[in-house]
Amino acid sequence: MTKNVVIIGGGTAGCMIANLLARGLKTEINQRTVQITVVSDQEIHIYQPGFLYIPFHLKQPEELIRPMDQVINTHVHVILDRATQIDTHKQNVHLEKGESLPYDYLILATGSHPKVEEIPGLQEGGHMFYTMESALRLRDAMDHFHGGKVVVAVGLPHKCPIAPLEFTMMLEDWARQQGFRKQTEITYAYPLAGPYGTASVAEWAEKEFNNRNIHIETFFMIDHVNPEENVIVSVDGRKLSYDLLVVIPPHQGANVVRESKLGDKEAWLPTHRHHLRLDGQENIFVIGDATNLPISKAGSTAHFEAEILSHNLINLLHGKKGEKPYNGKVFCFIETGLNQATYISFDYENPPKPVPPSKWVHFAKSGYNEMHWVNVKGIL
Ligand SMILES: Cc1cc2nc3c(=O)[nH]c(=O)nc-3n(C[C@H](O)[C@H](O)[C@H](O)COP(=O)(O)OP(=O)(O)OC[C@H]3O[C@@H](n4cnc5c(N)ncnc54)[C@H](O)[C@@H]3O)c2cc1C
């Protein structure tokens, strides 16, 4: 009997675990005792961290995209379709085009996306950089910006918690390089007491922002954008006027999670913090942004989780006992301008501590961005 491992999602988490499993189970796949299937609703794999560079003309869209067959191991069966319903009783995944896929093990790697439509006026009055289209639109707006009021407003939770800080410091540097920093006022509006959710990073970011004369507007919970008056309004009625508005809306989990009633009200999947099982399900696992784990929704999180889960599943399929626990490991580079960066490394027990920024770390981040195409193959 063939054991079917079905993975939903062809992003960082889905591709990485598919490739790691295919390498570890090559013999079983060749003997047809195991089949690995990835269901992806996109024909391409997108390197989302590259969106950060698009508004500054530092990356082009084609550098961030590869066809799925160039990033997924040839031993993996890829289905380009959308999973519409997961039936945990019958162990089946229903696909939009009508197919029904049975699974023995299911891995949910369905990611997260911004709730753009829940901020009235945002699409007309503001910008984002969390999708390819929005990053390109922001690039056009920045091409026509020559100084004025910039507001970067953040809603929680969202993927890559660091990216809005990075964008703001890059923008400040960019305005200086363009020669209109003195005519530019930058405000960072955040829903908490500081500019970040973790105390050590918030303290560090506050100092960096103060040094760069970036104003922090705390406890700013976004209510709506008024495009006629060029203001963004908080739930408590505060108004910030802008000439250029960049918003990172709160995120939610995938629609299939909601449609299958597997997640909470924001469609985050309740996941065991060490073994990455979906609560109450012995043979369903969750990795990447889709989990409800109290850690950053980041590509590096997906990477470390994929390493642990693939090891455990390969063991299981080899009939061995024992599981390695995921300890919440995350590693993130942080751009602090156009040519300097720092990094943080942390886990469930150890909070992050940013080191002083340097151009060497910026080069390391640039190299890491290029390495994604090797990294995602599970080779490193
Ligand atoms: C601007 C920006 C900067 C970032 N910077 C960094 C960084 O510096 N470092 C870092 O570590 N991380 C960074 N990230 C975060 C990182 O990109 C994500 O955390 C990572 O992509 C998560 O991987 P994932 O596979 O869980 O989700 P995704 O990569 O989003 O993949 C999920 C996939 O599942 C597909 N899918 C969803 N539902 C279905 C369905 N029903 N059927 C089939 N397919 C489905 C989606 O279309 C998508 O292709 C950044 C993200 C952004 C937007």
Binned average pLDDT, 10 residues per bin, the chain of 380 residues: 97 98 97 98 98 98 97 97 98 97 98 97 98 98 98 98 98 98 98 97 98 98 98 98 98 98 98 98 98 97 98 96 96 98 98 95 96 89
The CATH number of the domain where 64 resides is what? 3.50.50.60
**Is the CB–ligand 1 distance for residue 10 below 6 Å?**
yes
What does the pLDDT read at residue 319? 93
**Is the CB–ligand 1 distance for residue 97 below 6 Å?**
no
Q: Which among 215, 234, 250 is the end of a domain?
A: 250
Please tell me whether residues 223 and 275 are part of one structural domain. no
Please tell me whether residues 124 and 246 are part of one structural domain. yes
**Is the CB–ligand 1 distance for residue 12 below 6 Å?**
yes
Residue at 246 is within a domain:
yes
Q: Which among 250, 276, 306 is the end of a domain?
A: 250
Q: Which atom of ligand 1 is found nearest the CA of 111?
A: 27
Please tell me whether residues 243 and 260 are part of one structural domain. no
Residue at 350 is within a domain:
no
Please tell me whether residues 166 and 246 are part of one structural domain. yes
**Is the CB–ligand 1 distance for residue 332 below 6 Å?**
yes
Task: Label residue 53 left, alpha or beta by phi (over 0 means left) and psi (-120 to 50 means alpha).
Answer: alpha
Residue at 56 is within a domain:
yes
Residue at 353 is within a domain:
no
Domain of residue 192, residue span: 120-250
Residue at 154 is within a domain:
yes
Residue at 72 is within a domain:
yes
CB within 8 Å of 134: residues ≥ 6 apart: 127, 128
**Is the CB–ligand 1 distance for residue 64 below 6 Å?**
no
Phi, psi of 99 (to 5 degrees): -70, 155
What does the pLDDT read at residue 379? 79
**Is the CB–ligand 1 distance for residue 114 below 6 Å?**
no
Q: Report pLDDT digits (tens) over 293-323.
A: 999 999 999 999 999 999 999 999 999 988 9
Residue whose pair of structure tokens reads 């960049």 in the numeric block: 246
- Token pair, residue 9, equals 């999602």
Pocket test for ligand 1, best of 53, 159, 255, 293 (most atoms within 8 A of CB): 159
Q: How many structural domains are present in the chain?
A: 2
Residue at 342 is within a domain:
no
Please tell me whether residues 241 and 169 are part of one structural domain. yes
**Is the CB–ligand 1 distance for residue 8 below 6 Å?**
yes
Cα first-last separation, the chain: 32
**Is the CB–ligand 1 distance for residue 96 below 6 Å?**
no
Residue 265 and residue 273 in contact, taking contact as beta carbons nearer than 8 Å: no
Please tell me whether residues 261 and 221 are part of one structural domain. no
Q: Which atom of ligand 1 is found nearest the CA of 254?
A: 38
Query: Of how many residues is the chain composed?
Result: 380
> What separation in Å is there between the alpha carbon of 220 and the centre of ligand 1?
26
Whose alpha carbon is nearest atom 35 of ligand 1? 9
Residue whose pair of structure tokens reads 């918003």 in the numeric block: 247
Q: Exposed, middle or buried, 147 (CB in 10 Å: 0-12/13-18/19+)? A: middle
Residue at 345 is within a domain:
no
Please tell me whether residues 259 and 307 are part of one structural domain. yes
Q: Which among 290, 306, 329 is the end of a domain?
A: 329
